Structures are given as structure tokens and as C-alpha cells.
Structure 1
């Protein structure tokens, strides 16, 4: 696949006697939105963590091909190199957001850019732009506890995008939200990723969320059972 952004081959990962990944092959294309589904303990979150370089596989390979430059063997990188890759090339949205409650919305977003070396002024400008684009203009100075669950997740989405990340990994990003807010957050997530030509990989248990993605991958017992274009 010539436009592959992430190529995974033969992924194996065990935690003690439990084999979370049992030989997974997967290609993800530039601009694609992929939903990973499966029962609890199926290996779906472990798969996302291995693809994103959070966890190293015991065997197999993950190759990331950036928009410019040559392919990067993520699975062969050391911890510091994988940490730098995650900061500079990948974005993350988690179920609880993992935002810093003592910071304001704009500070939470700007911090992600500042960690990569962007000046405070420029990082704040970019952060305010993303918050406005995601419907949070006027809420920049609110702390996370002063926002609704859906608003907080939009802050997390802005944070995932402020560095210009080509791939965003989302782990149950709507898991704590009601159905209406879940739909609104998915609107924001898809607009900010695939709507901008970027790639989205999302772990979800919600069929409605999965149906919004261009492809659904079913994982069972650490293996890909099925990969199909979403209905």
C-alpha cells in the first residue's frame, strides 16, 4: 500500500502468561479513520499502545512513514526516541482526557506545543486557534473543572492537534459521555483529523462511534478477526 502511514507485521505481546497480541498484521493508510473493536481483554488497547510506540512488542514490527522523510521502525526505537516520536508526530485522546486540572484550557493545549520547542507566545496562539475551531472560543481561560465532559474532550482533541500530528490515537474518547455529546465529540475528532487529511486510530466499544470511521477492525484473543469498511 503506497500511502501506508503505519505498517504492522507479526505483532506479539504478552503480559506474564497472558498473550495480549498473538501475531497481528495491519496496514493503516494516510487519511484513514480506523476503529478497533473487541471485548474486554481482546487486546485492542494493547494494539493501540504498540502502534503508537507507548509499548514495545515482544516480537514483530511497527513502521511509521511520516509525510516527509523515510520510514521509522518504531518497534526498534529506545524509550527516549519513542517518547520524542510520540511528542512530535502523534496525538493522543483518552477517555478521561488526562488534562491538567490546575491549568486553563488554553494552557493545557499550548503545553503540548511548548514541549516540542515552540515558544510560549506561538504555542498560545496555536492553542487559541484550535480551541476556537472546535467551538470553545471564549472558554480559553477556564480550568478543566469548569468545563462539561464534552468541552473537556474537545480541549483534549485540540491538544492532540496543536503540534500538527499526522496520526491521532484515541482510546475510548467517548466512553464517559452520553450519546448526544459522544456524537458531537466524534464530529470534532473526525473534522480535526481525517477532515484535515490526517489519520485517526480509535479504540471503542460503541458501534455508533465505530460506524463513523472508514474501517472497523475486530480483535479477538489478540488476533484480527475481521477488517471491513464501516457500513
Structure 2
């Protein structure tokens, strides 16, 4: 726990006249599940995007230390380097999944491997194994529109995990789901991440989702605020 997988310092990000991040420091411990909460416009999604290398901060650093121990500063990478990092080292689950509707469940998951150079047969086998482990056996050949919302999110979780990503980012992964399905999706997300020694960072507005994570950060006006202030 003394060696964070992500260590961000003095992050700032401005969009026009809006300061989305105003000097944020955060450490994400290896193997933890971290929930980031806050009202709309608080900066929580911007923080996730900066930590994940989706966007670069205006100032500050984001140090990623993979299991190999070779520390990387995500904030200073080029867009090409960040894209490769996201593709090979990070996994993502978004509210709507962002799955390709023309592809089947197994094709959506296998594609994440094939983009990185894995042969189709091997990628398909690994995709099938992940879908089976997440309770989707027999649904491999269904297109996304033929799945329920919860099933589609489990496909997205499988896609995020199939590459062996050490760090999973989830942005409102249960936001479009009812309470029962939300619980099932969080079960799948936590089982496939922290239960396997991986790390999860999740942005959520749902108190029940946050309560299931090992730690919660609350944001307001682009900064992290103490729990007693945020409450």
C-alpha cells in the first residue's frame, strides 16, 4: 500500500472560463476501489479523464506505476503515447458501455485484444472465458441490442478486463440501471477488479455504489473536500 499505482499532484484543467480542476492531489493505492463523488460540474469526471490519460491536464503530474515498476508520467505523454497506454494498460467502463452495436458480445470483447495484435482465435477464446465468468455463457453471439442493460454492462466489463489491464476506470457504470441491476453490475465489477488484485476508480453519484468501494473522495468546485465538509 506504500506504492500507489497512480499518484497525481497539483492537477489543473480549465475549459474556457470554467476551472474544472483547481490543484488536485490524489493517490490511488494498488488494489483498492476508489469512488469519486460530487455534484454535476464538481470536476469528478474531468479528474477521472485526466487520471486515465483521456485528456491532458493544463498543469500537474500523473505518475502511473505498473506492476513492472517502470514509472510513467501520463500527463507529459503525447496523445499517441496516452492512446497506447489506455489501450494496453487501462480498462474502461462507461455509463452506456460504448459498445459497438453491429458486433456481437464476443466480438466486442475480442476486439480489445485484436487491436493489440492478438490473433482472432486466441482473442475469441479469451473473450468467451470472460463472458462465461461474468454470467453471460450462451449469449456470446447476441448483438448488444439483444441484451439487457445489465448484460451489456457486463460485456463492457469483460472488454475492460480481457487485456489484463491493471487499472480500471468506470464513469457512472450503473447510472442507467435500476437498483437491482446496479447491484449485480457492481458485483461483477468488484469481482473482476479488486477481487483479482486489480485497481478500480469509479465516478458515481450513487451513494450505494460508493459505499461498496474501499474509499470515497468527494469533489466540489474542482477540488477534493474533506468528508465532513462535503457531507
Aligned match of 2:107: 107
Give the whole-Å Cα distance in 1 for the aligned partners of 2:223 and 2:69.
31
Count of equivalent residues: 228
Tell me, what secondary structure is at the counterpart of 1:107?
A: helix
Aligned match of 1:28: 28
Give how far 1:117 is off: 1.0
Aligned match of 2:177: 177
Give the whole-Å Cα distance in 2 for the aligned partners of 1:194 and 1:30.
9
Aligned match of 1:154: 154
Give how far 1:42 is off: 0.2
Give how far 1:62 is off: 0.3
Give the whole-Å Cα distance in 2 for the aligned partners of 1:63 and 1:160.
21
Tell me, what secondary structure is at the counterpart of 2:112?
A: helix
Give the whole-Å Cα distance in 2 for the aligned partners of 1:118 and 1:76.
28
Residues 38-71 of structure 1 show CA distances to partners (whole Å, capped at 9, x for unaligned) of 0000000000000000010000000100001410
Residues 117-174 of structure 1 show CA distances to partners (whole Å, capped at 9, x for unaligned) of 1111111011000000000000000000000000000000000000000000000000
Q: Any unmatched runs of 5+ in structure 2?
A: none
Give how far 1:227 is off: 5.9
Tell me, what secondary structure is at the counterpart of 1:118?
A: coil
Q: Any unmatched runs of 5+ in structure 1?
A: none
Aligned match of 1:79: 79
Matched-pair contact (CA < 8 Å) for 1:168–1:201: yes
Residues 96-132 of structure 1 show CA distances to partners (whole Å, capped at 9, x for unaligned) of 0000000000000000011111111111011000000
Give how far 1:3 is off: 2.4
Give the whole-Å Cα distance in 2 for the aligned partners of 1:70 and 1:84.
16
What TM-score, normalized to structure 2? 0.97
Residues 227, 192 of structure 1: CA spacing in aligned structure 2 closer, same or farther, 3 A cutoff? farther
- 1:1-231, aligned counterparts within 5 Å? 2-226=2-226
What TM-score, normalized to structure 1? 0.97
Tell me, what secondary structure is at the counterpart of 1:4?
A: coil
Matched-pair contact (CA < 8 Å) for 1:215–1:227: no
Matched-pair contact (CA < 8 Å) for 1:150–1:185: yes
Tell me, what secondary structure is at the counterpart of 1:14?
A: strand
Matched-pair contact (CA < 8 Å) for 1:35–1:217: yes
Give the whole-Å Cα distance in 1 for the aligned partners of 2:122 and 2:219.
41
